[in-house]
Structure 1
Amino acid sequence: MQCNNCSVTELKFEIKIEGDSNLLALPQIYSHLNRRDIDIVTTENGLIVDEAGAKELMDFCRHFMDLEQVVFRINHEAWKPFSEIETVLDMQWIDKVIQKELISCHYQPIVNGNEEIFAYEMLARFQNEDGSMIYPNEIFPAAKIRGRLYALDRVCRMTAVRYAAKLKGEKAFINFIPTSIYSPEFCLRSTISLSEQLGVDPKSLVFEVVETEKVDDLDHLKKILAYYKEKGFDYALDDVGEGYSTIEMLADLKPKYMKLDMQYVQGVAMDPAKQKVAEKFLKKALEIGSIPLAEGVETSEDFKWLKQRGYQLFQGYYFGKPAALPLYEKKVEV
């Protein structure tokens, strides 16, 4: 059984109406929607409707109500100005992407100091029904606006596991968004089950926390990582930089891998400020027993500087761009 947040069920819009003149118009709203055969659930100062009802209500409110005193929400999230409801309706296309799983993965190599392939990061690629590409900077904001972030993250994880199975035991890094997981035991059950069905060795999967710097609920993240560890998987922290909160929390999380944010990698060979951050990061990684990984390497100069300082793993266009098929070279262990 899936929770509603991870499945793409029809959205319900909870509308809250304030202001004397607006409240006086409520009976007219109910009557108008009933004439349109739209199901409504009345509340103390508003109503709950489906998507069709939201569209009808949007047109009605524009002409007969003070929109500044009308708010809405979906999935019990924060209340938003009613003027934003049209944006949610416009993002309906993302439902098809998730329902039809119009998602694939590209493989980007992660190498050791000898430029031998150690693992691959699984990078999601999205497309519309007509085959046209959807970029990540389009789809994730759309998912957040429409309340589909949980469902999108889940289908991305499942797709990544399927593509990881094709590596026949080689290590795969799979991204996940901590805020998209309510309860590890419930939300990650399908991911764990799929990996077992496909015969994927838990030790070959590394679950990577996306946007580590933005984590604000450390206890929740600890529970997720503890669950992964209990099931035999390793985990990594992505986009780690110089933020005090991030550096300090590393000792508690003890990730197997730590990724230095590419903003401190690119140009590090010639930038003393970036060198300072990279060295501080390296010291902390080694101190807590994590494997330091530099991502976003694009030049031989940066690669050599990082390697000489003691970085063990590297990722970036210098070694290989994301591709539909993995590069099959010698696999190594670190």
Structure 2
Amino acid sequence: MPCPHCTIAGQNITFSLNDTILNFIHKHLTQRDFPMNIHDHRLTTHEQGARELVDFLEAMDLTTDVEFQINNYDWLPLADFKDYQDASWVDDLLFEPYIRMHFQPIIKPDGEIFAYEMLSRFVDKDGNRIFPDVMFPAAKMRGRTFALDRICRIHAVRQVKRLLPNQRAFINFIPTAIYSPEFCLKTTTDLAHALEIDSKRFVFEVVETEQVKDTDHLQSILKYYQDHGFQYALDDVGSGYNTLNFLKELKPPYIKLDLAFVRDVDTDVEKQRVAKEILNLRDAFGAMALAEGVETIEEFHWLKQAGFDLFQGYLFGKPESEPLIKSSIDIVAL
């Protein structure tokens, strides 16, 4: 049975209706052989049925206090239903042919390319670029975040063959887009093993670490990756992070210092304090500290001298459609 969170099949849409509205529309809908299931003041139907229902509610001025829910996501006001409909274009693009992988190098202090962050970009059916800040909100509005996250992960895993044999791949994932690790991640991990690539070359990176609320759920995801031989990283780590205990419990092999604390770190004493705190945590459980968003040689020199292990940013290379053919970046020439 396909998971409703990952599939791009038809949606189930539920409406929360009060007694007055439900009693008023029930007979009308029944006479029209309307596809529906009613339980406890909630009516569930498919997408076409939902469109017809909303049209009827608006025509009869019965929209007050009505909410709708896509599959089992958050409840939304009926006023958002038009946005949901307008975002339907994203459904047709949740396939690998519409993803274009970009690669941004992650280097060691001596310039050797240690890894690439794999960044998904998108095109429409005419080949026109769709930026992530358009694609992901549209997918969220349609209840397709799970499907989008999954297809991006799968596509990224396939692209690891394009890297040099000793290079790792940092692959982003959204923790809230994983309903059940055993179910949602099986395709990803099975594909990685089928490609016969060393599991340690895959580093699954938590997107929006700061916003993770359900730490038990995140731990179950990371344990699943770890049990299958993969590594993981926490991104956007800084002084605003929820608790230091969270980091200590998870013991990630890689910690990425948020670019907000990298910017001007060579002159900002408070940012230097945060950077050093990350290094102390790294030493506490043997992780590697990665500074992301490095843009100036001064930032790089300070972070390198402080003891960071890995570096990423425009100073070393922007995301490109092809990984570099060389194995290192000449940091002396920067």
Q: TM-score, normalised by structure 1?
A: 0.93
1:4-83 paired onto structure 2 within 5 Å? 4-18=4-18, 20=20, 22-27=21-26, 29-30=28-29, 33-34=32-33, 38-83=34-79
Question: What secondary structure is seen at the aligned counterpart in 2 of 1:235?
Answer: strand
Task: Note closer, same or farther for the CA distance 1:69–1:32 as it changes in structure 2 (3 Å cut).
Answer: farther
- Tell me, yes or no, if the aligned pair for 1:33 and 1:56 is still in contact at 8 Å: no
Equivalent residue, structure 2, for 1:243: 240
Aligned CA RMSD, in angstroms, stands at 1.9
Partners of 2:241 and 2:102 in 1: CA distance: 33
Equivalent residue, structure 2, for 1:173: 170
1:137-216 paired onto structure 2 within 5 Å? 137-169=133-165, 170-216=167-213
- Tell me, yes or no, if the aligned pair for 2:118 and 2:156 is still in contact at 8 Å: yes
Partners of 2:158 and 2:241 in 1: CA distance: 36
Aligned residues: 328
Identity %: 46
Task: Note closer, same or farther for the CA distance 1:248–1:101 as it changes in structure 2 (3 Å cut).
Answer: farther
Equivalent residue, structure 2, for 1:94: 90
Equivalent residue, structure 2, for 1:85: 81
> Is the counterpart of residue 274 in structure 1 residue 271 in structure 2?
yes
- Tell me, yes or no, if the aligned pair for 1:241 and 1:277 is still in contact at 8 Å: yes
- Tell me, yes or no, if the aligned pair for 1:208 and 1:235 is still in contact at 8 Å: yes
- Tell me, yes or no, if the aligned pair for 2:104 and 2:319 is still in contact at 8 Å: yes
1:194-249 Cα shifts (integer Å, max 9, x gaps): 11222221011111111111111111111111111111111111111113524221
- Tell me, yes or no, if the aligned pair for 1:242 and 1:281 is still in contact at 8 Å: no
Q: TM-score, normalised by structure 2?
A: 0.93
Partners of 2:169 and 2:19 in 1: CA distance: 55
- Tell me, yes or no, if the aligned pair for 1:258 and 1:292 is still in contact at 8 Å: yes
Q: Which 5+ residue runs of structure 1 have no aligned equivalent?
A: none
Partners of 1:258 and 1:325 in 2: CA distance: 25
| Deviation, structure 1 residue 61 | 1.2
Partners of 2:307 and 2:42 in 1: CA distance: 61
| Deviation, structure 1 residue 56 | 1.7
Task: Note closer, same or farther for the CA distance 1:100–1:229 as it changes in structure 2 (3 Å cut).
Answer: closer
